[in-house]
Chains A and B, each alone.
Chain A
Amino acid sequence: MRRRSVLPGFGITLGYTLVYLTLIVLIPFSALMVRTSSGGWEHFWSTITAPRVAASYWVSFGISFLAALVNGFFGFIGAWVLVRYRFPGRRILDAMVDLPFALPTAVAGIALTALYAPNDWIGEFLKPMGIKVAFTRLGIFVALTFIGMPFVVRTVQPVIQGLSDDVEEAAACLGANRWQTFRRVVFPALLPSILTGITLAYGRAVGEFGSVVFIAGNLPFKTEITPLLIISKLEQYDYSGAAALGFVMLVVSFFVLLASNGLQAWDNKRKGIS
């Protein structure tokens, strides 16, 4: 690695950066890798395919997907409304979109539980309809939707902002009504960013812990999330079991990262950027 600039400080800043990263990231992660393989293949496989664990995959990975889709839909509408329309309270709403990002997950967790528990607020409202939210998978869905909200909105907003008026006007002059213009001209231009936002929301939801554990109720096979199982394995000193599950989660995160980069590359190709 040779520096290609005459500014000073390369050695010390890069050195500090690398040391920090090695200590904080690389070494601990290699411990994870080593631990995962140390128990042997049999143990690894049986751990990650145990029925209770498999059930948690449905919960963690499956519900996250649904939540991400819902966020894709409402997040897109929200981004559109925030960029294109004026209405009272717009600025406040815009700032508040980041709330799930800024609010500590435990606070979100107990707030959502209180909100949807059978005797309070919304839960009370839904009880006569026979809809239970707290301590069910629906509750987990609600929490994961909350968590993923900023991702789609913030990813799509700048793209909507960057759309130039003249393309939409051209479509109008060519005889397209508003819906046709949206469907054929505007939406295709926004699709990559919407998909990216959904991917990011999914990545976040999959690993989420604090916001979910309170409202979930943590019933085995029903509402247990995978991160919780990691913790319970650690509590039983089953380090290699915990590492195995951690590895599975890492693999999923890795694929989400790949998907996100792939979407970026696809979008660049469409735009003719090399």
Chain B
Amino acid sequence: MAGATQFPIPHRPSAGRRATAESPVAKFLLIGITLVFFSLFLLLPLLVVFQEAFSKGLGVFVKAFQDPYTQDAIRLTLLVAAITVPLNTIFGLAAAWSLTRFRFSGRAFIITLIDLPLWVSPVIGGLIYVLVFGSKGWFGSWLTDHNIRIIFAVPGIVLATVFVTFPFVARGLIPLMQAQGINEEEAALTLGANGWQIFWRVTVPKIKWGLLYGVILCNARAMGEFGAVSVVSGHIRGKTNTMPLHIEILYNEYHFAAAFAVASLLALLALVTLFLKTYSEWRAAEQLKQL
């Protein structure tokens, strides 16, 4: 998505005045269409995941998680997220700070660059690293000679995941910090605070909800990324399978209940993400209103 996200104003239907309201029939129809369309497309897939996960009973559900390969997949997913999210958070903070607190030419270019992963297919996100580090890539032979594996190994997965998720924290922070202005930081400067103190004591409290918002999205995407990771992973069971890839393997081998069991975990994560996202979005907007 080009441009920066705007934190939405808390949703409130405008008070319907009778003079400018639609007829009750029209309203009923529109609400009906919306409910049907959206529940068809949103609710049903969600329900399917949980229904299929438990379709063979609780026993099979639990067994799916006792499979060592599944446990490896979960561990790898957590590991990748644990590396990716902090790295991208630091990037997001650094980028937001440099872009919103200073003026310089080239800002627009950098902002476009930050939005890039959201515009390109995730498969491209994997492709580019294969082209650099793959066995026929730029560094391919050098890596083979030194016995370092990036593609078809964890580092490659981390790289691809970093690529597709690095915009999120930055995009959560940039519009927020832009709107908040630098007055408070400048005031702190005149009172003798140094860079770190200004950052921790003045900026961070102001941006904490925007930061949380970005981190939540970054994490959700990092744990759930499929396309980019699929390209670089090699799908080696127990070694380079993240949860989404493992789901694919289980599914292709017709272990449907197991596949959906693992999927249900990610679906649950998605619901938690939605909840936290809505909450932090709301808090951030409230904070902005007090400006």
Contacts and interface: CB of A to CB of B under 8 A. Distances in A.
Contact present between A and B (CB < 8 A): yes
Given A209-B230, A234-B231, A32 B127 contact: yes
Nearest to A84: B13
Specify the main secondary structure of chain B where it touches its partner.
helix
Nearest to B223: A104
Interface string B234-252: 0000000001110110010
Interface in B94-138: 94-95, 97-99, 101-106, 110, 113-114, 116-117, 119-124, 127-132, 134-138
A207 B13 contact: no
A47 interface: no
A271 interface: no
B102 A257 contact: no
B192 interface: no
Contacts of B9: 158, 161
Interface in B1-25: 1-3, 6, 8-9, 11, 13-14, 16-17, 19-23
A239 B104 CA distance: 38
Nearest to B95: A17
A246 interface: yes
B79 interface: no
Contacts of B243: 104
Given A84-B13, A207-B123, A110 B230 contact: no
Interface in A138-183: 145-146, 149, 151, 154, 157-158, 161, 165, 168-169, 172, 178, 181
A106 B224 contact: yes
Nearest to B10: A161
Interface residues of B, number: 110
Nearest to A16: B94
B91 interface: yes
A96 to B, nearest CB: 5
A168 B226 contact: no
Interface string B61-104: 00000000000000000000000000000110111011101111
B130 A239 contact: yes
Interface string A1-37: 1111111111011101110110011111101100100
Interface stretch (A51-59, A127-135, A248-256): A248-256
B214 interface: no
B124 A246 contact: yes
Q: Which of A86, A104, A161 has the most CB of B within 10 A?
A: A104
A23 B46 CA distance: 37
Given A25-B163, A87-B31, A95-B275, A31 B132 contact: yes
B127 A234 contact: yes
B179 interface: no
A31 B138 contact: yes
A81 B224 contact: no
Interface in A53-94: 74, 77-78, 80-87, 89-91, 93-94
Interface stretch (B34-42, B141-149, B204-212): B34-42
A110 B21 CA distance: 42
A155 to B, nearest CB: 9
B263 A107 contact: yes
Contacts of A80: 30
A7 B181 CA distance: 12
A81 B27 CA distance: 8
B227 A209 contact: yes
A111 B27 contact: no
B29 to A, nearest CB: 10
A165 B34 CA distance: 23
B27 A25 contact: no
B226 A82 contact: no
B94 A85 contact: no
A74 B159 CA distance: 37
B122 A7 contact: no
Nearest to A260: B2
B153 interface: no
Nearest to B103: A4
B199 interface: yes
Interface string B250-285: 010000100110010011001101110110000000
Given A83-B13, A107-B49, A165-B17, A78 B2 contact: no
Given A96-B42, A97-B42, A209-B227, A104 B270 contact: yes
Nearest 5 A/B pairs, CB to CB: A104-B224, A207-B121, A209-B227, A28-B128, A210-B226
30 contacts: A3-B103, A5-B182, A7-B101, A8-B194, A9-B98, A16-B91, A17-B91, A17-B98, A20-B91, A20-B166, A25-B117, A74-B38, A77-B30, A78-B38, A81-B30, A91-B11, A103-B224, A106-B244, A115-B45, A121-B44, A161-B9, A207-B120, A209-B122, A209-B123, A209-B227, A210-B227, A230-B124, A234-B127, A234-B134, A260-B1
Interface of A: 1-10, 12-14, 16-18, 20-21, 24-29, 31-32, 35, 74, 77-78, 80-87, 89-91, 93-100, 102-112, 114-115, 120-122, 145-146, 149, 151, 154, 157-158, 161, 165, 168-169, 172, 178, 181, 200, 203, 206-210, 214, 227, 230-231, 234, 237, 239, 242-243, 246, 249-250, 253, 256-257, 260-261, 264
